[in-house]
Every structure is written in C-alpha cells, then in structure tokens.
Chains A and B, each alone.
Chain A
Amino acid sequence: MLRLEELQVVRGRTRVLHGLTLELGAGEIAALVGANGAGKTTTLMALSGLLPIACGRATLELESGTLDVARSTPAALVAGGLIHCPEGRQVFARLTIEENLRLGAYLNRDEAEVRRLLGEAYALFPVLGERRGLNAGGLSGGEQMMLAVARALMAQPKVLLLDEPSLGLAPQITERIFDTLVELNRERGVAMLIVEQNAMLALEIAHKGFVMEEGRIVMSGTGRALLEDAGVVQAYLGASA
C-alpha cells in the first residue's frame, strides 16, 4: 500500500532521513517509534508532500495506479487517500466545527456524500455534532483531537498518517481515541502509520512496529515482538515498563 525505499530528506542544511525503508500493507497498523529528533515527524511530512524528498522513493499503491509521492502535490496525495493528521491536532480554531469537518472533505465535490460523511462523524463523536456551529478553538484538547480524527476521516482515507495522537491528552481520552482507531482499522480497513512518543500504547495496537534512530530504521518486527524485546523496552519504553 505505502512503500518507502531508501528515503532521504533534508531540512534546511541538515539531512534528517538517511535512507529510510519501510512498508505498510493494506489494512495494516504500523507504529513508528523512537527518540525525539529521530525523524519520525519528518517522515510523515515528506509522505504528505510537505517536505521535498531528496533521494529514494516513496510510493502509494492504489487500485487506480501508483502515486509517486515525490512527484505529487499534497492535494493529489489527499485525493489518493493518503491523509495526514498532524502533530498538535492543528484544527482551525477560528472556524466552526462543521467548517473544519467540511475542509476535511475539501476535494469532495459531491455535496450529498459530504453530508453523509458529516452524519457519520457526528455519530462517531456526538460531542462534535452538539457543538457543530461553535468555533473549534473553544473545544478542549481531547475534543480537538476527536475533531482532528473526524476531519481526517471526512477525506475517506485509505492510509492515515497520525503524528502523536496521544500528545497532551488525559489517559481516558487517549484510550478512547486509540479504541476508535482500532475500530476504524477493523471495520473500514484503513491502514495507519502511527508516530507515537508513547511507544507502548502504539505497539499494542500495531500489527508491526519500526524503531527509528537518527533517520533510519534500526529494528522492526511485529508489535508484540518489539514490546517483548528487552532492548526496545529499555531504550524506548522506559525502565518501568
């Protein structure tokens, strides 16, 4: 579904990714874990077309053909079903909840379908429906995360890139969000690449995991195997784990 081969990305004068290779199959959840500064967010930004790819290849395989990420605009990638839910949620605080959701389906010109998707979003997170006319800036952090996920779903993603979905959220909210992600994966077959500082949380729901260090993958395996690996536990999950 999504394939990265020897990807290199340069930000400013610094090479952040030094030949990253990973593959995400259809319907899979993959966790990308690693210390701060390893290049996890950079990977996602390159995949959604926000950063240029210096070298290597990233491709999105779709029924309609293969999209080369380096040659596609962010809009073309969104149209292809590759949706990036960015770090820090990035909801449009001065726009209403409904306007935020409609922007998630910005490329969809079928108004009837957009309405149906809005209905689905409000069914998934009723709190958003109750406040649809209010500015998103008035929502709590957890509600903004729900909005960010719902907004990403409005685009009917095939691959969802999630950057730190648990960041700054209370444990119950995080659990709620992760339950929703698992449900979306099972019921709609949405493939996900999750970047998470809470590595344990992400590896628990992931089919496979990748450990990143200084711009490359240093270890990979099933989520369970990585969770049980003493080295990973020590390096990334904290001594208490």
Chain B
Amino acid sequence: MSGYLLQQLVNGLTLGSLYALVAIGFSLIYGVVRLVNFAHGDLMMIGAFSTLGLVAVGEVAWAFVPLLVMAGGFAAGGVIERLAFRSLRGAPMITGFIVTLSASVAIQNLGLMILGAQPRNFGFPSVFRERLALGPVNIAVIDLAIPAATLLLAGAVVLFVQRTRLGIAMRAVSENAVAARLMGISLNRAVLAAFGLGGALAAIAGLFWGGKFGQIDPLMGFVPGLKAFVATIIGGVGSVPGAVLGGYILGFAEVAFVGFMPSEYSGYRDAFVFALLILILLLRPQGLFGREEEERA
C-alpha cells in the first residue's frame, strides 16, 4: 500500500471519529425527544473553548482536561435542553426544528460576543504532535488517539444504553413515551441523560477537533455539526452503532473526495457531503441501519 493511500486512510479514520462522536448525540437526542437538535454541533465549540480555558488557567493536569471538558459538555447539554427545549415537549416537529436552529445561532453569537471572532491557536501537548513511524508513513499520535478514544467512548455508550437501568428506560421512552411514564420513568431524567451524554461526546470531539486542526473559533461547530447530522442519517437515526458507522463512512468518503479528486475540486467538499445526504434521503431514507418510521406531525 502506498504511503499516500495509508495517510488518507488515517485522515478518514480521524475525521470519521469526530463525526461519529457528534453523531451519537444527534441519535440519542432524536431517540428520546424526536428532535433534530441543530444546536448540537455548537457543543463542539463549547468543548474546544473549555479546553482552551482550562489550559490557559494552567492549574489542571492534562490527564484531567478531557474528563473536565466532558463533564462541562454534559452540563452544557443539560442546560441548553432546560432553557431552550423543555417547554417544547409535544410541540409540532417544525417548531422544534426552528427553535434548535435559533438556539444554535444564539450560542454562536454569544460565543462571538464573549470570545471574539478571531480564530485562536489551540495549544495541545506536544506529545500528540509527535509522529510514529508505521510502515511507510509517519502517523501523528493524535491520529491514533482520536479513533481509540472514539471507539472506547462509543462502546461505553452502547453498553450503557443496552445494559443499564437508565439506558433501558431511554430506549423505552424512545419507543413509547406514554407507556414509559406509566412505568414510573421520569421523562426529564431520560431526556437529561440523552442531552448530557450527547453534550459530553460533542465536547470531547471539540477538544479533538482543536488538537487535530490547531485552530478554533466560535462558529467552528456549525458545519461539522451539520455533517455529523448527515452521518446520523447515513447510519439511521436512533441507532448508536449506526451513528458511529455513519460517521466513519462519511469521514472516509469526504477524505477520499478531497484526496483522490483533482485538487481544484477539493473546495467542494462540503457540497459533496450534502449531495451525499440528498442521495441517501432519496435512496434509503431510513438510513443503513434505521427502521422505517411514520412521521409524526
């Protein structure tokens, strides 16, 4: 295998991991509240700036930064749900759609006001920049750390949803919220779990995004968030393994588009991703692993 191909594979794996981390949250949140949360990607930005802040303070050992960032993401996800979405329960889907877009714009503009529009350099520990010789290529440590952490976290979420009492309750709410309440399940708790877990994963994706690409700004979460939503659609909304696989499919497809098409096309990478979305919606609207579902007004 040529070095170039292998390097592209590594790039696809890294990008796909980032999409997968964000896509899991889309999927969990849609599962319990039937809401496509367009503000979800902005939690990446919150995660990235939290990392920057923690590092700037300098008191926190690097090993604890990811944990704190995830805890912050959990809290931010829960707070956003409480402030913006809780009063929407039972509202028509289109209302939820508009409110999540508004929440996204509000978060981005709050970010611009507080943090400024200037992109910032993201200082990551130099150990992640080191390159390991792997056969014909050198691979940066971060390109190994991101997929490893992603698979670990995705596995933990799958176990949580499949095995734990709250995870089973979340699946029950996702299938039939009224019957779930008759079991004594608190909707608010299941919804908080979905927004919190989704927020934690998006925040850690923000940390990784900054580490991988080196620069962050208050608008950084929106387009990756939309792409992670495309990944969720590819995998089939409501399935955590589907969201992870969708993330990797999209990551590889995007990197292949940039890496193997003539370089003058690489500026169209976003257009390519959304064209892929349209294609999937036309050919297999329930995604690769989703089940068909009647739309609820």
Contacts and interface: CB of A to CB of B under 8 A. Distances in A.
B184 A75 contact: yes
A84 interface: yes
A84 B182 contact: yes
B130 interface: no
A197 interface: no
A83 B183 CA distance: 8
A86 B178 contact: yes
A94 B171 contact: yes
A92 B181 contact: no
A93 B185 contact: no
Interface in A145-162: 151, 155
Contacts of A102: 165, 168
A94 B176 CA distance: 10
A95 B175 CA distance: 9
Contact of A90 (B165, B171, B179, B186): B179
Interface in A74-101: 74-75, 78-79, 83-84, 86, 90-95, 99
B238 to A, nearest CB: 10
A95 B184 contact: no
A109 to B, nearest CB: 9
A241 to B, nearest CB: 33
B182 A99 contact: no
A127 B176 CA distance: 24
Interface string B158-192: 00000001001101100110111111111000000
Interface in B126-176: 165, 168-169, 171-172, 175-176
A228 B53 CA distance: 79
Interface string B183-222: 1111000000000000000000000000000000000000
Contacts of B180: 92, 103
A236 interface: no
Of A50, A75, A102, A155, chain B has the most CB atoms within 10 Å of the CB of A75
B182 to A, nearest CB: 5
A225 interface: no
A154 to B, nearest CB: 9
A129 to B, nearest CB: 19
Top 9 A-B residue pairs of the complex, sorted by shortest distance between their CB atoms: A78-B184, A90-B179, A75-B184, A107-B184, A74-B181, A103-B183, A106-B183, A84-B182, A106-B184
13 contacts: A50-B182, A74-B182, A74-B184, A75-B181, A86-B182, A90-B179, A94-B171, A99-B168, A102-B165, A103-B169, A103-B172, A103-B185, A104-B183
Given A78-B184, A86-B179, A106-B185, 6 more contacts: A48-B182, A84-B182, A93-B175, A99-B171, A102-B168, A103-B180
Interface of A: 48-50, 73-75, 78-79, 83-84, 86, 90-95, 99, 102-104, 106-107, 151, 155
